[in-house]
Amino acid sequence: MKEVKTQRSRSYHEYLISSLKDPERAAGYMGVMLELDEEGFEPELLRSALKDVVDAREQMNNLSEEAKKRFEKLDKMLLETKAAELQSLIEFLDALGFRLAIVAKD
């Protein structure tokens, strides 16, 4: 993957992680990864987005051991199943005219 630089010479990934420290942005970022596009749902993009949010929380020292363990379990499950159940749910909701949304708790 080509590294993209921002105006302050920080890598795009560093900028992204920094922006994901904001709960509203993190929720929006993960929500976008749940949406269907012309090619369908991309479980690898969701896994990557979840990892980015976890990285941001770790940088803030705001990730509990429980959350870390749950992320590891979820990540393993998404890798093994290619998120088949989640993809079916997203496609079903889409057929009904709905979509999943992620919002910050406050």
Kindly list the domain boundaries of the chain, sorted by start residue: 12-96
Tokens of 57: 């929380």
pLDDT value of residue 10: 66
pLDDT value of residue 39: 74
pLDDT tens-digit profile, the chain (106 residues): 455 554 554 699 999 999 999 999 999 999 999 887 777 788 899 999 999 999 999 999 999 999 999 999 999 999 999 999 999 999 999 999 999 999 999 7
pLDDT value of residue 34: 87
pLDDT value of residue 23: 96
pLDDT value of residue 6: 44
Q: Residue 83 CA to chain centroid, in angstroms?
A: 13
Which amino acid would we find at residue 83?
A: A
pLDDT value of residue 40: 78
Q: Are 17 and 55 in contact (CB under 8 A)?
A: yes
